[in-house]
C-alpha cells in the first residue's frame, strides 16, 4: 500500500503537467481579441497623422476643436444621452419594482412590452414618428397641443429624439434591471424596511437602489452607447447630433472625420468607464482577528 501511493501521486502529477495550461489559452484569446479591436484603431490613427509628402502632422486634431458644429453636436448628444438615461430609469425602475413586489404574474407582460422595440426596425419607428409630427400641426393648430408639437422639435434640444431613444433603449434597460432585481431578495428587504417604519420613497431610494447600483450602471452604460452612436432616426428627422455631424463632414474632410471618430471612441470609453466605476461599490474588508499568544 505504501509503494502504490507514491506511484499514483506521480502519475497524477505527470498527467497534470501534460494538460495545457488554461492561462496560455486565455492569453492567446485575449491577444487575438485585442489585435482585432486595436489594429483598425491604430491604422485609423496612422491615416490621420501621416500625410503623403508631408510626413507626420497632427493638423487633423488641431483643427478639430475649431471645426464648425463640433462642440454643439457633441454637447447635444451628451444632453440627449443624459435625458434618455433619466427617462428610461424613471419609467423602468418603479414599474419593475412594483411588478416584483405586488404582481409577479405580470412580469412576462412587462418583459414583452419592453422587448417589443427589438422587433420594430428603427426605419419603421422613424416613419411612424414623422407621420405623427406631420399630422399634429394640421389637425391641432387651434389647440394648445400645437405648441407642444413645435416644442418637441426644437433643434437646440429635440425632445422627440429623447422619446425615440427611450423606446430603443427599453429592452437593454429592462434586461439589466431585471437581472439585478432577481439577484436581490426584494420582498424581504421591503418587508424589513416597512416593518421598521420606512416610507415607500425611503424604501426605494435608501434600500433598493443601493443594491441595484451595478444594474443601474449597466443600464446607463448601454443607453449611453446607443445614443452616442445612433444615426438613422436623427438623420431622417433632420437633426444633427454628434453621429450625424461626423457623417456630414466625412465627404469634404476625410482625415478630420476619422480623427473625430477616434476622439468619439475615446470619449465614449471614458464615459462608460466612469459609469462602470460608479456602479461598483468599494469592498470593505474586516480586519483579521489577532491571535493571542498562549
Contact 172, 111 (CB under 8 A): no
Contact 74, 263 (CB under 8 A): no
What confidence tens digit (pLDDT) does each residue in 196-220 have? Answer: 888 888 888 888 888 888 888 888 8
35 located within any domain = no
292 located within any domain = no
5 located within any domain = no
Tell me the average pLDDT of the chain.
79
Across 103-107, 145-149, 235-239, 284-288, which has the greatest mean pLDDT? 235-239
12 located within any domain = no
What confidence tens digit (pLDDT) does each residue in 61-107 have? Answer: 777 777 788 888 889 999 999 999 999 999 999 989 888 888 888 88
216 located within any domain = yes
Residue 73, CA distances (Å) to 39, 82, 191, 220, 280 in order: 28, 14, 47, 20, 31
Domain that holds residue 122: 63-278
Separation of alpha carbons 149 and 162, rounded Å: 14
* Residues in the chain, overall count: 294
Q: Is the pLDDT of residue 261 over 50?
A: yes
pTM for the full predicted model: 0.76
Tell me which residue of 34, 52, 77 sits closest to 260, measured CA to CA: 77
Number of C-beta neighbours around residue 81 at 10 A: 25
Contact 78, 89 (CB under 8 A): no
89 located within any domain = yes
What confidence tens digit (pLDDT) does each residue in 171-190 have? Answer: 999 988 988 888 888 888 88
38 located within any domain = no
Q: Label residue 267 exposed, middle or buried (CB < 10 Å: 0-12, 13-18, 19+).
A: middle
Tell which phi-psi region holds residue 198, choosing left (phi > 0), alpha (psi between -120 and 50) or beta: beta
Tell me which residue of 91, 87, 163 sits closest to 125, measured CA to CA: 163
Tell me which residue of 148, 153, 114 sits closest to 130, measured CA to CA: 153
213 located within any domain = yes
Structural domain count of the chain:
1
pLDDT, position 165: 94
Give the residue-averaged pLDDT of 250-265: 76
CATH of the domain at 246: 1.10.3720.10
Amino acid at each position: 500500500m505504501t509503494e502504490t501511493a507514491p506511484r499514483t501521486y506521480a502519475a497524477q502529477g505527470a498527467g497534470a503537467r501534460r494538460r495545457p495550461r488554461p492561462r496560455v489559452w486565455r492569453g492567446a484569446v485575449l491577444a487575438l481579441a485585442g489585435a482585432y479591436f486595436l489594429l483598425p484603431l491604430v491604422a485609423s490613427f496612422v491615416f490621420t497623422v501621416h500625410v503623403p509628402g508631408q510626413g507626420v502632422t497632427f493638423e487633423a486634431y488641431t483643427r478639430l476643436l475649431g471645426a464648425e458644429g463640433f462642440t454643439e453636436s457633441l454637447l447635444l448628444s451628451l444632453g440627449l444621452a443624459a435625458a434618455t438615461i433619466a427617462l428610461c430609469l424613471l419609467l423602468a425602475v418603479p414599474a419593475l419594482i412594483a411588478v416584483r413586489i405586488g404582481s409577479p404574474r405580470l412580469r412576462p407582460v412587462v418583459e414583452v412590452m419592453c422587448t417589443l422595440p427589438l422587433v420594430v426596425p428603427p426605419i419603421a419607428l422613424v416613419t411612424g414618428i414623422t407621420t405623427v409630427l406631420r399630422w399634429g400641426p394640421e389637425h391641432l393648430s387651434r389647440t394648445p397641443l400645437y405648441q407642444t408639437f413645435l416644442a418637441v422639435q426644437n433643434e437646440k434640444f429635440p425632445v422627440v429624439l429623447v422619446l425615440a431613444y427611450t423606446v430603443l433603449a427599453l429592452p437593454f434597460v429592462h434586461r439589466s434591471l431585471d437581472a439585478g432585481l432577481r439577484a436581490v431578495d426584494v420582498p424581504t428587504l421591503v418587508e424589513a424596511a416597512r416593518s421598521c417604519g420606512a416610507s415607500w420613497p425611503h424604501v426605494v431610494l435608501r434600500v433598493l437602489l443601493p443594491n441595484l447600483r451595478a444594474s443601474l450602471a449597466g443600464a446607463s452604460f448601454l443607453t449611453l452607447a446607443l445614443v452616442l452612436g445612433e444615426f438613422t432616426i436623427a438623420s431622417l428627422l433632420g437633426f444633427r447630433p454628434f453621429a450625424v455631424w461626423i457623417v456630414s463632414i466625412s465627404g469634404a474632410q476625410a482625415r478630420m472625420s476619422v480623427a473625430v471618430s477616434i476622439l468619439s471612441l475615446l470619449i465614449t470609453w471614458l464615459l462608460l468607464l466612469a459609469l462602470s466605476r460608479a456602479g461598483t461599490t468599494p469592498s470593505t474588508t474586516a480586519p483579521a482577528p489577532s491571535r493571542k499568544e498562549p
